[in-house]
Amino acid sequence: MNSVRSVRLFAAALTAASISAAALAGEKTAAIENHDGTYAVDITTEQGSCDRVYHWKISVAGGRISSPSDAMMQATGQIDPRGVVSVAFRRDNQVAHVAGKVRGDSGFGTWSSPTLQCGGSWRAARQG
């Protein structure tokens, strides 16, 4: 009788472990999102003498960030599957580094430009 009870306890523990592992796998899958689309980006300067506010549109395809060819500054970078943003905006010899996070249809973060000696924050919203 003792061995039957042990087998039942072992089976119950194994079932609970399987359910927990499946739940964790579901959480990991849920954290990975597709961030493709067009975003309106509002950039605010909080340090330095750059213009106070900038507005841009960027595109994301396959996690890769780009800007329209006629844009004032060119954006290159990526949003990884977990929403971590890493972008550089370039114009002539000027560069701004952008970092942050995207969740769902919006994002936020910080930026800094060592060449312009400015920095601040940004917010983005997916369009359509």
pTM recorded for the entire structure: 0.72
Question: Which region, left, alpha or beta, applies to residue 82 given φ > 0 means left and ψ of -120 to 50 means alpha?
Answer: alpha
**Percentage, residues of the chain above pLDDT 90:** 59
Distance of CA 13 to the CA centre of its chain: 37
Q: What is the pLDDT of residues 63-101, one digit of tens each?
A: 999 987 777 788 899 999 999 999 998 989 999 999 999
Residue 97 to residue 75: CA distance in whole angstroms:
10
Give the list of residues 6+ apart from residue 109 with CB closer than 8 angstroms, or none: 85, 98, 99, 100, 101, 121, 122
Q: What is the pLDDT of residues 110-119, one digit of tens each?
A: 999 999 999 9
